[in-house]
Structure 1
Amino acid sequence: MTSFKLRGRSALFAVLLALLSISHAAQAQSAVDGAVGGNVLDSTGAVVANAAVTVRNIDTNAQQQAVTDGSGYFRVIHLQPGVYEVTITASGFDTYDAKSVTVQVGSLTDVDARLKVGSSAQTVEVTSEAPLVNTATPDFAGVVDQISLHNLPENNYRWSAFALLTPGVVNDSNGFGLLSFRGQSTLLNNVTIDGTDDNQAYFSEERGRTRAGYSTIKAAVQEFQVNTSNYSVEYGRSAGGIVNSVTKSGSNALHGEGYYYDRDSAWAAQNTYVTHPVQVSTNPISYAVQSFKPTDLRRQFGFGVGGPILRDKLFFFLAADRFYHDFPAASTITGTSANANFYTAPDADISTTSKTCGGTGSAAPSYPDAQVCQFAANTGLAYTAAAPLYSSYINSLTSVLGTVPRIGKQVIYFPKVDWQINQKNHASVEANQMRWTSPAGIQTAPAVAYGTASFGNDYVRDNWIVGKLDSFLSTHWSNEARFMYGRDFEFEFNQKPTAYEQSNLINTPAGYVNPLGLPPNVFLSGFFQFGTPQFLNRAALPDERRWQLADTLVWVHGNHNIKFGEDYLHTDDRISNLYNQYGGYSYTGNTPLGNYVSDLYLSQNPVTGKVAENYNSYSQGVGAAGLDFTTGDYALFVQDEWKVNPRLSLTLGVRWEYEKFPSQQLPNSLLPQTNTLHDNKNNIGPRVGFAYDVYGGGKTILRGGYGEFFARAINSTLYQALIGTGVSAGQVNPTINPGTPCAPKFPQIDASSCLQGSSGNATAYYIDPNFKVPEIHQADLTLEQQLSKNDVFSISWLGSWGRRLPDFVDTNLPAPTPTTFTVTGAGPLPVGTTIDANVYFYDTANANHRPNPNFSSITDIFSGVTSNYQALVGQFKHQMSYHVSFGSNFTWSHALDYGENNTTGASATALLDPNNIKLEYGNSNQNVPYRLLIYTVTDSPWHVHGPLGYLLNDFELAPTFQTQSGLPYSVGISGSSAKLYPGGSTTQQSIINTSSFNGSGGTNRVPGLNRNELQYPKTWGVDMRASKRFVVREHYNLEFLAEAFNLTNHQNVTGLGTNAYSISENTATHTNNLVQYTSTQFQSVTSTGNSNFAYNVRQLQMAVRLNF
């Protein structure tokens, strides 16, 4: 019965789609354009019905007509952003001619005309700009126009980053450009270009992802609208915000820009937290950790130009852009103590010291000596023989560290053609091609704890094409049809292994030859890792093809503007990515270097009774390289924009959405939950809003609304439930302990089916039977007051309530045991405080110590998290006058939730206690209590005549200042105890998962303290652009620019020591579980100004730009 309903609904949807696609209409208004409307009255205030209205695009001469209705009202919609002339004629009245009427995306420009009695041969000319106060729509949205795009400094090259000018929007923690709207996850937004989807479904980000400089040329963007609530029913698939952009078009006059930007680290400040080891002596060899200024060169150049092909008929726009980033990295060990432990030579003979192998207290050996002691014990060598060998091995290992050449190269082309077919039909076609190549560019920080050949090469191939047809047949009907096809192909591969890796991990002196030709990953805890990173190779992650067909039909009837339509988005993800396919050896604990050197020695020098299995664990991904799957996003919508009277506008709409999940390809008969990916069709969201002109003069507006919105389930999460069912035909990544079946001898990897058949080691994921896509309820109320001709102030309340947000929990854990911990030392908790927590001990009934013996973790992907965001916002804007434009906004907010998950894919579990989600309640990961933004553009107010004016005129200064409270973090706890279980011993691992202190494998934060209880220090920065324009000829000027980002070089903290406590015991056998305060680590600053964009140290950029 269910399948019959689905087929019936799909058929109905297809029929409706076809009917809407072939319908003909006129005067459509869509989400990517604006409108002009108003009331036509005579000099006494009486309505003038049947007046003829003509709206002409000044750039292209395209015209649309309308007639006022019985109430004197008219509306001309479906206008591309730009400048228009509005002419109104009526028998017995002078002609009304409004010139320079500015239309913005998503806005209605009021043109209220008062006609004088006279002859239509006489003309009264007026001007009408884009309204400061929105009197017609309830949206809480901001338009970023050409003035802002063209004049304000932008640090990260992404035009969409200007969305941060809008209240309720904050940056993510890494500064790459992901945005959070109203406290929601950065992964639940929607980016559109010219009304079509511009997202990647797999990672749920803007197409092209974040390591690439950007995926769309800023010079090709006319303006864009940032919607955070009550947006049109044409928009959907978002629980946060929608960034809706409109690209530039050609016109009857040639226009455009060419530019060159140059940024050099030689001009920038130095980040003292970027360090690397420097050799300071040779006998003995010793190193010191020193700060350094990494090279960072960025070049961007390109152009955007538009003009006529056939005047008034056919127009072109073409943009091209190239971005080059040269940023070599330091492959290094991070941390002063780690460097000392690694580079300090051991004593040649420990017996000549007061220390002993295995000694405690004052007799405990130094760190290097302890490594040699372990090396000697593992191999049967004497200490004096092991010490020089250890030093030799460590010195050889340093060859995988050093400077890594690293660049990023990007090229983008954007052509667009507009065709005014006739007065009633307009078509446009545009395409975008982006190519990104970045050798060694996967790791982006200036100093990274990876080997020189372990950074990974990054590639992106991005293409899309959009076609749009606007049709006009009468003064009441319009239709807009849109089509998009795009491919986002991203892949990453290894670098060439170093000579050390080739001789020790691939082709060893003992004759072992790695069958896969690449080295396994070697992780040395506390130091660095080398070999093939576990996340490589990624032949396609993703190779994503998407096509979209959308159609909107609009009926203008009296004071009603009724739109209804459909939107279908098809996504085909082709994935080739077997995680950890080359295997990985992990060396942890107190002697990782000693154990690694032992395995390296034994792999080349066999010793009777000794084997190269001194690692802590080995893991390897085996199975299929990936799989292909599709999703389908359906939407139907209807909305009435009702001008009840000249003072009141209502918007009433509803939108239905359905994300069709893929069919399961690899069900596991041992786990029935994996048979189906459960989706949900019951996603009907009403949207209501109003705009009320309080006094009727268009100066004081009360605006508000409510809407229910739905986001997508992220495709990478669905993929995890498809590929990770625990069957051998899928992908499994078992972890093997040394000395157990399938455990390899270093550096060998498993090339057989042993790991696939290892019982109890497979992990599994499934979509919960009650899973639903994220649901968000949003509401706001705004009072807006125009203070003068150019000044407007508003105050707003914003509310957002999330429901059905996703998270992950391991359901294959034993029943927990209540356990008490005692706090020692100072810190956030008083000395002697007892902490009660559930601890997950071994299940002794099964060999794998879990209730279901066939699996390790079994992850339920469920949708049971809720959130709550509320904010007060004050905004002030001064439109350009007297050579100054100015804007500012302040947001005071609080975001709470039950642990909303902000990751792609799926983890085994994300909760502190899998059996108590209530413990997750606390500040959201996106909780930013306050944010202040101030920006201005100032032209030189003087005008010097004569030749001197060529040098002294046309200066411009454009500073921006922004500050916000720091992002939150939780008080962390490190370590786990083998003796938590009564009677446990140092050789018995009695908790299920040692990655978390309580054995659940989830988050490591201190029970008894709220999640995200503390905050990073506030961030703030001043960006500045200064420019000087030289007039080359009429309509041509050459502009020289100097930009500073973080002008005052404020140290914005991006890394803190968040672990306040560690687990220890007070006796050799269990008597009490101690939580020891780690005062030297907690809240210590580990980094300031990361290597990305938003929080960097002061940087300077020079540029030249030709405008015409």
Structure 2
Amino acid sequence: MRLQAKLIGPAAAVLALLLLLLLPRATAAQATTGTIEGQAKDAQGAVLPGVSMTATNVETGATFHAVTTESGLYRLTYLPLGRYDVRAELSGFRTAVTEGVRVGLNETAVVTVTLQVAAVEQEVTVLAQVPIVQTTKSEIRRTYDERALLDRPVTTQVSGFAGRSVYNFATLSPGVTTPVRFDRAFLGSGGSNVIANGTTARSSNFELDGISNVDPEDNDYRVAVSVEGVKEFEVITSNYNAEFGRAGGAQARAVSKSGSNAFHGSAYEFYFDNAAFNWPGNPLQSQRCSEAERQQNPTRCYAEFTLNMFGATAGGPITRDKIFFFGLFENNVRRGENFASGLVPLRTERTPDTGSVEGDRIISEWLTLYPQPNRTDVNIRRHETNVPFDYDTPNPFLRVDFNLTNASKLMTRYDLRNQDFKITRVFPSNGGDIVDRAHTGGVALTHTFSPTLVGEFRGGYAYRRVDLPTERGFEAMPTVVVTGLGTLGSTSTQFPIFRKLYDYQGNGSLTWTKGRHAVKAGYDLHRTFNNGIQSDNVRGLITFGNGYGRSGIENFLAGTPTQYVATIGDVERNFRYWDVAFYVQDDWRIRDNVTLNLGLRNESVTDWSEQDGKTDFGYSASLLNLAPRVGIAWDVTGDSRWVVRGAYGLSYDRVNFFFLRSLQFQPPVTRTVTVLPSSEDEPLRIETLSPSSGTVASSPLTVFDVDPAFELGKVHTWNVTVERPITRTTSVRLSYVGSATRGLPATLILNRAEPTPDATFFDRQERRPDPTIGNLQRLANASDGNYRALQVSVDRRMASGFQYQFSYTYSRARDLASDVGFGSGDMWISMTHDADLLFAQTGDNSARKADLYGPSRYDQPHVWSFNFSYELPWKDQRGLVGALANHWQVGGTAYYRDGYPINVTCGENSSDCNIDGFAQDRPNVLDASVVGRQFQDKPRNEADTQVQHILPTAFDQAIAPGARGTLPRNQFRTDDIATFDMALIRHIPVVRDQRIQLRFEVYNLFNNTFAGAPNLSLATPDDFGKIASVSGNRSIQIAAKYYW
């Protein structure tokens, strides 16, 4: 039964969440803290109940208290990250103090205490010897502490203004694949770069301080998080506890730095000069140019711009032992130009002749937007220029922590990310003033009710505003497309886009320790708003193509469009969504060396509903989605030398709004009209153009809908892991990891043309079951996938100035559809005529699997990475030698990834080779020897770009009506990627705790290149199999920091 949730405004949602925070039963925060647990025994090994255990934070003086149970067990929960002194006290025994216990994010430090009988009160202090392997949890995770985040080279040049983001580290974790370096996934529609264990680019969850950092549009992270403000970062890739959810893939979680009793801070600047700091790895790439070379041929030169990322941090006490602050300000500033080019009318093509005063006026205004050609040596119509492209991205951040009492702690945090900038393109009217601002904030209250009952209650707020307008002064101008010339007006028919996204969150948890059980229960509530204006062709799309016996340019001058497309109606939509989860988790130590992790989570979500009823997607709320989690951790020898773990869990992916974006504008509230000329003799006229002029196109309308039974996709995960320390600071882990995705979103194509013996390309519409419409594209839970992997991880904690992490993954990923956002790139539409219909009517997916099941777009069988930091050993030299040789450090990141799968696509009959009314078809194979080929040939000159590495004659496009091609999906691969980034760092002591750090960072040190993807479309046989580009080159970045 569909949930009819009452729609409430943002203010009411805030009030509701504040009330939830005040409920004493409030329970499921995503942990941003750590735990110390263990057992107290006497000298003979007997357990000691009633021992008072107190952990004191070394930096802030905050204290946390517990008492051992009848089994001698204790558990100190919700501990802020840092180092602790653990004090054990019991009458008649010497007090034992364990110093320097490190508490990491979502980690459990096991501290076993042995108390000696004493006649008088005495105290024994020992240095912590905490096991470096997890002995009580069954999840698979990788953590990066503050030192690792700051010592590794992290570029400022990542796309999306996300330079030096902590999320760049997620791609180094075992089981994570991403096809292109640290960038976001290669989806035209967004998606994240964290693709874990066979899930998708929209299957990961992102948090900062336990507050969601997810953009509901694409399920990507909302804002980048600077490494300068992060205390610790973790990526949980498999089998997380029941307290984690809202995704079937990875949990990428960062905790910000906090203040302490000591004042500390930094100031820094990273600098990159694109023209001076790049070295091409291949003659086909952009080159370093002299000024004369730049004037002669700017297209061959690196664009001239600079990036300055500068900032400062400061932290310390406001009131000693009570109130602490940490603040950060960072700005990424780009100054310079981008190269731009386009085709323009000749000097002899600048006089309109529409036959009317109004028509001449309109065309004359548009003609003035075209500059004169200035590169006639390349093309007689070509115009080239450098256009300014500057931006600033100021990011203030403030966190304040309060030790209210010994029993209560409070954290507050606010973050602003401002990414406003102006886009300037080759023609006036193409650009716009972009606004992209995000505010996030949160509070967290931790309270100890008793030594065995502790709670944490959290509230969060996130807001993002995105404006993608048309250029100022051209707000109402349509997009004008002239065959043979560059486009005027906004280059995207979707502009303007004005979007405001809100997410109000309330979550909390209670942890109760009883005997051998540590039970945690909780909830996680989100109220999300997606308000905005966005629609294709709302300003109109006017096309001047070939027609009426004239060329496109001649029609432009005559004011006679060949097509006009306009969206009519209300394009404002305001969507709402509820997301509520409850869970319970029991970590049960059934023996001293065996822990069971038992959990159950239920996730309830509503549909995306429009507040004024303008859109109804047609699917219902999903209230019962039980997610069991079970795991075991076995300390085989009882001394943390060999640990065996295993787990199974069920999680659910979210319905992010991208899946529904193309369905949000529906008749009768909104409709798109295509106007064509009534005949060749009655052309459309620019001065009278309107949706009622000419003839409304009779071409059938493509219909979009959602399966009424649409629900959350399921992700089953499991692992078997063996881990052991090989030195005091280094551990090795071997895992068998698997996942099975079931019912992930995919598109079905219904109402296809029926196959008949005499079928032709031109009678497709007549052969449809309902000839009054075109294709019916239905979003449904139609994709399944499977993943198996062997994962190896070696981690060395910092010791003797050396720290490193290594991971290797050998995997196999297969699915039916990797992501709806791939469009034709992934070939996720079944060619078999009745396969989609069979699934829509009966749920039988066998025909679709026979056609589509193959390598996932994310399938990269071999992936490895290695990152390290090393303080060079000659750091204690004296005199002149010491002045030159001391305090040097190197850091680096190396990685390798196999190429990702790609497809060959049909070209005949507009890529609809089986003439069923839908394109994206695969051909038949004539030469089986080409199947499975990887394209690794890197072109070095223009002649190389004309080489056909695979010939179109290897394929046949004559496919029977309604049948599928014999070429399976995703049978070819792009080139592999391998690179090594290095940072050379010099520390210069100033006075006491002050020092200067100088950094010289080299990216792709060995200047490796990799071939671009070939053209595999049979629609362009002359270019088929050609590789036109090469990626990868060496670049440098320099930086200076001052620490105090």
Distance 1:873 1:322, change over 3 A: same
Match of 1:641 in 2: 587
How far off is 1:692 after superposition?
0.5
| CA distance, structure 2, for counterparts of residue 477 and residue 1081 of structure 1 | 69
Answer whether contact 1:888 1:932 (CA < 8 A) is retained.
yes
Gaps of 5+ in 2: 8-14, 159-163, 185-192, 290-295, 349-371, 836-847, 924-956
Distance 1:579 1:344, change over 3 A: closer
Matches within 5 A, 1:144-155: 144-155=144-155
Q: Greater shift after overlay, 593-602 or 630-639?
A: 593-602
User: Aligned pair 1:415/2:416, yes or no?
Assistant: no
User: Aligned pair 1:575/2:532, yes or no?
Assistant: yes
1:709 to 629, 651, 654: 651
Matches within 5 A, 1:153-232: 153-155=153-155, 156=158, 157-173=164-180, 175-177=182-184, 178-208=193-223, 214=224, 216-232=225-241
User: Aligned pair 1:110/2:49, yes or no?
Assistant: no
1:774 to 696, 699, 713: 713
Distance 1:1062 1:991, change over 3 A: same
Match of 2:900 in 1: 967
Q: Deviations over 1:221-244 (max 9, x none)?
A: 110211111112221111211101
Distance 1:262 1:566, change over 3 A: same
1:878 to 779, 788, 796: 796
Answer whether contact 1:842 1:991 (CA < 8 A) is retained.
no
User: Aligned pair 1:1022/2:980, yes or no?
Assistant: yes
Answer whether contact 1:483 1:548 (CA < 8 A) is retained.
yes
How far off is 1:94 after superposition?
2.4
Match of 1:923 in 2: 855
How far off is 1:698 after superposition?
0.6
Match of 1:367 in 2: none
Answer whether contact 1:720 1:906 (CA < 8 A) is retained.
no
Distance 1:557 1:994, change over 3 A: closer
Distance 1:997 1:56, change over 3 A: closer
Instruction: Name the SS for the 1:1055 alignment partner.
Output: coil
Match of 1:255 in 2: 264
1:454 to 411, 430, 438: 430
| CA distance, structure 2, for counterparts of residue 86 and residue 809 of structure 1 | 59
Match of 1:10 in 2: none
| CA distance, structure 1, for counterparts of residue 792 and residue 784 of structure 2 | 27
Match of 2:480 in 1: 521
Instruction: Name the SS for the 1:716 alignment partner.
Output: helix
User: Aligned pair 1:694/2:626, yes or no?
Assistant: no
Distance 1:186 1:802, change over 3 A: same
Matches within 5 A, 1:458-469: 458-469=434-445
Answer whether contact 1:674 1:767 (CA < 8 A) is retained.
no
Instruction: Name the SS for the 1:976 alignment partner.
Output: helix
Q: Deviations over 1:342-376 (max 9, x none)?
A: 99999xxxxxxxxxxxxxxxxxxxxxxxxxxxxxx
1:462 is aligned with what amino acid? Answer: A
| CA distance, structure 2, for counterparts of residue 908 and residue 1014 of structure 1 | 12
Match of 1:364 in 2: none
| CA distance, structure 2, for counterparts of residue 25 and residue 656 of structure 1 | 16
Q: TM-score, normalised by structure 1?
A: 0.78
2:279 to 255, 269, 273: 269
2:386 is aligned with what amino acid? Answer: T
Match of 1:584 in 2: 541
Match of 1:898 in 2: 816
Distance 1:677 1:905, change over 3 A: farther
2:806 to 870, 873, 888: 888
Match of 2:782 in 1: 864
2:734 is aligned with what amino acid? Answer: I
Answer whether contact 2:133 2:724 (CA < 8 A) is retained.
yes
Matches within 5 A, 1:790-869: 790-817=729-756, 842-843=763-764, 845=766, 851-852=769-770, 855-869=773-787
2:448 to 458, 472, 483: 472
2:569 is aligned with what amino acid? Answer: G
How far off is 1:533 after superposition?
1.7
Distance 1:665 1:233, change over 3 A: same
| CA distance, structure 2, for counterparts of residue 691 and residue 708 of structure 1 | 18
| CA distance, structure 1, for counterparts of residue 859 and residue 825 of structure 2 | 23
Match of 1:1081 in 2: 1023
User: Aligned pair 1:23/2:24, yes or no?
Assistant: yes
Q: Deviations over 1:565-601 (max 9, x none)?
A: 1111001111111222233345779x99972212123
Answer whether contact 1:877 1:888 (CA < 8 A) is retained.
yes
Match of 2:503 in 1: 546
Answer whether contact 1:814 1:850 (CA < 8 A) is retained.
yes
Answer whether contact 1:808 1:907 (CA < 8 A) is retained.
no
User: Aligned pair 1:601/2:533, yes or no?
Assistant: no
Answer whether contact 1:493 1:536 (CA < 8 A) is retained.
no
User: Aligned pair 1:937/2:869, yes or no?
Assistant: yes
How far off is 1:816 after superposition?
3.6
| CA distance, structure 1, for counterparts of residue 309 and residue 600 of structure 2 | 44
Match of 1:237 in 2: 246
1:569 is aligned with what amino acid? Answer: H
Matches within 5 A, 1:1029-1040: 1029-1040=987-998
User: Aligned pair 1:65/2:90, yes or no?
Assistant: no
Match of 1:676 in 2: 618
Q: Deviations over 1:910-945 (max 9, x none)?
A: 514264333221111111111011121110212113
How far off is 1:907 after superposition?
12
Answer whether contact 2:906 2:913 (CA < 8 A) is retained.
no
How far off is 1:560 after superposition?
1.0
Answer whether contact 2:548 2:680 (CA < 8 A) is retained.
no
| CA distance, structure 1, for counterparts of residue 253 and residue 413 of structure 2 | 16
Q: Deviations over 1:957-1009 (max 9, x none)?
A: 0111101101111123335369989xxxxxxxx88567879999xxx999211
Distance 1:799 1:523, change over 3 A: farther
1:729 is aligned with what amino acid? Answer: V
| CA distance, structure 1, for counterparts of residue 645 and residue 218 of structure 2 | 35
2:1036 to 1090, 1097, 1100: 1100
Matches within 5 A, 1:989-1008: 992=917, 1007-1008=965-966
Instruction: Name the SS for the 1:601 alignment partner.
Output: helix
Instruction: Name the SS for the 1:66 alignment partner.
Output: strand
1:934 is aligned with what amino acid? Answer: F
| CA distance, structure 2, for counterparts of residue 1005 and residue 1081 of structure 1 | 27
| CA distance, structure 2, for counterparts of residue 952 and residue 550 of structure 1 | 52
2:618 is aligned with what amino acid? Answer: T
Answer whether contact 2:912 2:918 (CA < 8 A) is retained.
no
Match of 1:101 in 2: 101
How far off is 1:39 after superposition?
1.6
How far off is 1:33 after superposition?
0.6
Answer whether contact 2:2 2:621 (CA < 8 A) is retained.
no
2:339 to 330, 338, 342: 330
Answer whether contact 2:500 2:531 (CA < 8 A) is retained.
yes
Gaps of 5+ in 1: 8-13, 209-213, 279-286, 334-338, 347-390, 444-449, 498-505, 507-515, 604-611, 820-837, 982-989, 1064-1077, 1090-1095
1:489 is aligned with what amino acid? Answer: R
Q: Deviations over 1:721-756 (max 9, x none)?
A: 3x233x1412x3444444469997365685446699
Match of 1:724 in 2: 665
Q: Deviations over 1:398-445 (max 9, x none)?
A: 47653222123201111111111111111111111111122227x9xx
1:1084 is aligned with what amino acid? Answer: K
User: Aligned pair 1:132/2:126, yes or no?
Assistant: no
Answer whether contact 1:263 1:1102 (CA < 8 A) is retained.
yes
Instruction: Name the SS for the 2:1013 alignment partner.
Output: strand
| CA distance, structure 2, for counterparts of residue 996 and residue 937 of structure 1 | 49
Distance 1:887 1:930, change over 3 A: same
Instruction: Name the SS for the 1:163 alignment partner.
Output: helix
Answer whether contact 1:876 1:887 (CA < 8 A) is retained.
yes
How far off is 1:800 after superposition?
0.9
| CA distance, structure 2, for counterparts of residue 132 and residue 782 of structure 1 | 15
2:1035 is aligned with what amino acid? Answer: Q
User: Aligned pair 1:44/2:54, yes or no?
Assistant: no
Answer whether contact 1:520 1:532 (CA < 8 A) is retained.
yes
Q: Deviations over 1:304-363 (max 9, x none)?
A: 211111111111111110001236322236xxxxx9xx99999xxxxxxxxxxxxxxxxx
Q: TM-score, normalised by structure 2?
A: 0.83
